[in-house]
Structure 1
């Protein structure tokens, strides 16, 4: 389900991000080359407006995990233990090798119980809100390589490329804005959960600015969510990584789907014509997540269905919707990807597609595809380090969530502890 060359060309043309790079000394970036992540984070966290937001996020974490739902009631019995072909032997081998390389102190910092709420402390901002894992930029290079070897063993080739692309575009942003101490390819935290095993539950996370990855593993089954991948800008136009582009496929398939829907369905899918409007209810937009609903600290959010049901669409558009979803979950290794796609297809009759913004070639937009077993979001954002005040197509955020209690593999973990055996097909 890889996109065609023409789709990628359409999605990535017309970048104008260099018009919005702040000049040296601009208040947005002044002094960032002379700081470090902890000093910077403490400074940001002392701002009264930021304190208010962080306090709200921390309050969300104090609530027991329940999972994203459409009405506050979790659908039960929709996730089953199964052999889905996840490459557990390769993952265990890479994790075991990594553990052997870490010092006792580093292993202690990185390690958590499998059901630890440290899972839920991930966040996308460059600010270090919680310290709960190893900071890559403090490690020797061979230890960073071992962490990335574990990540590579756990993803498809395309998925690993996307993860590395998010890290490289973050580094590129640090170069553009003279902010390398806080924006670089290693400004991430890594954590291990449980003990790597071919039969028992374990997992790991790698989280930081524009790259948040949470992977739960149980036998040959895995859950990759929550995931946040993004970039500002989403393409590199100079240096050794010139030509690298991130998240073009997701946006291209979503835009093609919206443009080819029958007009009546287009109108129903487009829940707001503007990227921000006063007609939005409280909480529907905020300056941090903007249009995203499933971002960090939203583990228990109620997110009603919006837009158009997939089975109301013509078959061609149903196919495009599935291609759009596939472009998000292509992170998964091949067999696990196929199993996940089959699960998603089985709930097509309960899958909804919604859209915010215009849908011309140059329009910024947001879309969400949501069902009982998957929720993916795509959003174009205004500038954070770059100076564009309105959403731009070169600042992209994407999110993957598993509703109804299986983010972080929590539902599969519960079944394991209740003695439920995996199904074999």
Structure 2
């Protein structure tokens, strides 16, 4: 059976205490402060206060493995910590562990030049700026990433970008200063060597934020998700990451950890949804008895616990494999959790909404927002269908003799 290290257990205890003392009590204040800001793309002051406290407590950049800039935790050790943070919509950012910054930091850590690291990685690690990841496009089926068509063309000592992206999370934030953009540098090249990734400062002339995209009506400001036009955007050739044609190589290095982080957060959101369900049914009466005594409600609670535990075990197995045999060998497990965890969270939160009745679809309990986000995560870092196809492909590669029962 899985056993966490003493280091991980220590972080779990400290993180849980910090969440109880500082994060949960300030969720409402965060919303109230944000609502009162003249610019909704600014961050509420309470966030900077919480980040300073978290950093002082040594609860900072916990996601970053094999680096002196992080806690040096393995994926397996980090899993329960990410889950704890995922119980709050402001939790990950408080500890500088929120997407898309985590993935972008890992890209810069692994593939960035010394200049890239000094200019962009260091302020990201310090939580002074935020970032965006521009990959998905509105005019092509981006589930097949080889369709990505934004052009990145060499012109002397520069690259010039033309095209359009959307669902670029984090780009609306006024603190977002840098975008990692994927596009085509060699249209005639080998299928998986046509694309490259390049660093584009958000303030570069020609970068135009077209519109904010809402998720089931939720804008998720100040982070946000934007459609962005790149109109003759010129950046130095030194901004290319690793070199031309290395885009898919970088993407695979980025998306493996990113996918498992999303799943860990989904487990945390599901746990909080189940907590809310249990608290609600112990307080409400219908048809002469507590909701907690209703058979259908007990079934919803029991099924939710079963679903969470199954998803958690599969996620921990994937994390363990990533640490011990590598991301490539763990490809099937990573794909499986990316399908299972968001669906699980969606179902648990849906049950919690049902138990809350009309209140469940309101903004009073946060369930509707969490439910909508869980549904959206089924697209994040690749839709379910792509992951299911990958799982089936790996299964069909197994050479199995036909055996009678």
Query: Shorter-chain TM-score: which interval?
Result: under 0.3
Structure number with the bigger relative contact order (C-alpha 8 A, sep ≥ 6) is 1
More helix by share: 2
Normalised by the length of structure 2, the TM-score is: 0.28
